[in-house]
């Protein structure tokens, strides 16, 4: 069942008030698209993408993707030289 992307609700990025991983309120939210918000957390370093009403999963209210792991979960690999 395909869903019309134009009918998906527009979500204001101001509705996210804290990090979904560490609950800290020192976050920066950017609306990437009408239904997609990127959340950058200064406290834990995580970067999340929150997609409301994903068109490929009509049964989901929202999908959360972890784009960058929190500081505490990153592997201790040496810096890469370019």
DSSP codes joined into one string, 12-44 = -GGG--S-TTT--S-EEEEEEETTEEEEEETTT
Mean pLDDT of the chain: 80
Residue 24 covered by a domain: yes
Query: Residue 73: what pLDDT?
Result: 74
Residue 32 covered by a domain: yes
Residue 22 covered by a domain: yes
Query: Residue 7: what pLDDT?
Result: 47
Residue 35 covered by a domain: yes
Query: Residue 2: what pLDDT?
Result: 40
Which pLDDT band, with edges at 50, 70 and 90, does 18 fall under? very high
Specify the number of domains making up the chain.
1
Edge-to-edge strand ranges of the sheet holding 36-41: 27-33, 36-41, 47-52, 62-68
- Which residue matches tokens 């972890």? 66
């Amino acid at each position: 069942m395909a869903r019309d992307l134009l009918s998906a609700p527009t979500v204001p990025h101001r509705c996210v008030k804290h990090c979904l991983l560490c609950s800290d309120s020192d976050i920066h939210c950017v609306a990437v698209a009408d239904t997609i918000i990127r959340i950058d957390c200064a406290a834990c370093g995580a970067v999340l993408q929150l997609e409301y009403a994903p068109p490929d999963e009509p049964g989901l209210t929202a999908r959360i993707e972890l784009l960058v792991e929190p500081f505490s979960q990153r592997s201790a690999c040496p810096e890469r030289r370019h």
